[in-house]
Structure 1
Amino acid sequence: MPVFFIGHGAPLYALGNNPYVKAWRKAAENIPKPKAIVSISAHWLTPGKTLVTATPQPKTIHDFGRMDDRLFEMQYPAPGSPELATKISQTISKVKVGLDHDWGYDHGTWCVLYHMFPDADIPVIQLSIDYAKAGDFHFSLAKELQFLRKKGVLIMASGNIVHNLGMLKFPENYAYDWAIQFDQEAKELMDNGNFQDLVNFQKLGKEAQLSIPTPDHYFPLLYALGLKTEKDSISYPIEGMSYGSTSMRSVRIG
């Protein structure tokens, strides 16, 4: 089963028939139907611990401020999978993975899956990001999820390679030069297999510092890259810049 890193961007994208939503749908059409989905979202940060959702029917979380009221009416009623959550908890050895019964589907997960798999009939669980850990932890932890791919489970990481809300700027299709430059640099590093440079993103210079003022939206990328094997191809089903300082680039592994 392939692995996706999805650049999810603003929640408002979930409302419309925009190019990004269309590309998410097409990306899902080009893979076998998953038996389950494990989502690693930029919006579930758990400093000091790693958790996995273990409820049979997770709630849809509207974890954003006042926006279009239609967003708050949207639900993604996909079932959870306590069995899969337990299997992950038992299999990962790098760190203790706790079973969580409170979290649900945050917008990094449901805004994308709402369009990729609109029937909401595939079990979904979320794996949290230990925000107290550095990039190499997340990159290596991802490798312990490799067994899921062989079982027909789709691993979807959701964030943005470039994500600086403090420098958001209109119009929607505007992009700062530094944002374009780092997005392209990240692509070139991925194309050349220089993943360690991306793990150590703090050393990549000014463009990286502006693009990743905080690593919450960047860490999911490292999970996708950590899952790449020598046989896997790497491609970019979606590219684009949004509101000056957000990259909508998505990555397919395999």
Structure 2
Amino acid sequence: MRQPTFFLSHGGGPWPYMDGEFRHAHAKLEASLQALPASLPARPKAILMISAHWEASAFTVMTSPTPGMLYDYGGFPAHTYEVVYPAPGDPALAERVVALIQAAGLPVARDAARGFDHGAFCTLAPMYPDADVPVVQLSLRQGLDPAEHLALGRALAPLRDEGVLILGSGFSFHNLGLMFNGRGQAPSIAFDAWLQAAVPAPEGRAERLKDWEQAPAARLAHAREEHLLPLMVAAGAAEGEAGSCDYHQTDYLGGLTASSFRFG
């Protein structure tokens, strides 16, 4: 009952906790996230969440049994700074993650204080609204080396056979300077077309992802690549297995193309 892995485009800010036009812009994404649990081979024992919104000098693992909240956004309604996603942590899984990363020779650290950031709780809320699946969050590593994050995914792969669902939360297009003025449409289309070609076939996928900067409109789609690196982790944890597009939208926020991907 091996769990698949996912790279999820997580949308903008605290959208699941809002109403109106901004929430409506996420309707297709929301539907895909709501449908995800039913597509799994079994209910996960826990979730390991790699969010674009956490970078550290070493791969850092959340160890708290009761994680708090981190409202890492600005300019949204006051109530969105009071929302709570009360999923429990899983200290035993956190230690298992530490051990796997250490065994792979990668730098690792623990953090008992960090709470869930919006890359985590805004994807999890539509998926598991009762917050009844334990969640451990794991950081990216500063430097944002694609090869290193693919290696991280390979190190974490055994968790899939232990009932753990590995989720990489980022965004297939993330250039805030182009998102809201219409100039992001063309580069989002071009980069997404590359992703649709690069992700499905496992043969040579790691090399394609390592060389992502050579893709059409790569640096227009990702002026900084932290929102793309969770894809590397999800792909690395499913090396040798096919990928497929799990969510695809061509009219996000008025014209952007966005996608999520499943592996295995």
- TM-score, shorter chain, exceeding 0.5: yes
1:22 alignment partner in structure 2: 31
1:147 alignment partner in structure 2: 158
1:102 alignment partner in structure 2: 113
User: Which one has the bigger strand percentage?
Assistant: 2
Distance 2:181 2:253 in 1: 5
1:38 alignment partner in structure 2: 48
Q: Structure 2 vs 1, CA of residues 103 and 154 (structure 1 numbering), >3 Å: closer, same or farther?
A: same
Give unpaired runs (5+ residues) of structure 2. 18-22
Distance 2:246 2:152 in 1: 25
| Native 8 Å contact 2:249 2:258 kept in 1 | yes
Question: Which one of the candidate residues 200, 219, 227 is aligned to 2:237?
Answer: 227
1:124 alignment partner in structure 2: 135
Distance 2:185 2:256 in 1: 9
Deviation of the 1:143 alpha carbon: 0.2
- Greater Cα shift, 158-167 or 196-205: 196-205
RMSD between aligned residues: 1.9
Paired residue secondary structure (2:223): coil
How many residues were matched structurally?
249
Residues 188-241 of structure 1: CA deviation (Å, up to 9, x unaligned): 111233421222212235x111111101101001111111243x3322121114
Residues 9-29 of structure 1: CA deviation (Å, up to 9, x unaligned): 202432346221111010122
Question: Which one of the candidate residues 61, 65, 86 is aligned to 2:74?
Answer: 65
Q: Structure 2 vs 1, CA of residues 220 and 246 (structure 1 numbering), >3 Å: closer, same or farther?
A: farther
State the TM-score, normalizing by the size of structure 2.
0.88
Deviation of the 1:175 alpha carbon: 5.3
Question: Which one of the candidate residues 175, 191, 198 is aligned to 1:189?
Answer: 198
| Native 8 Å contact 2:246 2:261 kept in 1 | yes
Distance 1:229 1:60 in 2: 32
- Percentage identity across paired residues of the two chains: 31
Give, as a single letter, the amino acid of the residue that structure 1 aligns with 2:131.
Answer: A
Distance 1:4 1:71 in 2: 26
Distance 1:190 1:74 in 2: 35
Q: Structure 2 vs 1, CA of residues 79 and 252 (structure 1 numbering), >3 Å: closer, same or farther?
A: same
Question: Which one of the candidate residues 133, 141, 147 is aligned to 1:136?
Answer: 147
Paired residue secondary structure (1:99): strand
State the TM-score, normalizing by the size of structure 1.
0.91
Give, as a single letter, the amino acid of the residue that structure 1 aligns with 2:69.
Answer: T
Distance 1:163 1:34 in 2: 29
Paired residue secondary structure (1:11): coil
Question: Which one of the candidate residues 9, 13, 16 is aligned to 2:15?
Answer: 13
Deviation of the 1:97 alpha carbon: 1.6
Distance 2:239 2:139 in 1: 23
Paired residue secondary structure (2:50): strand
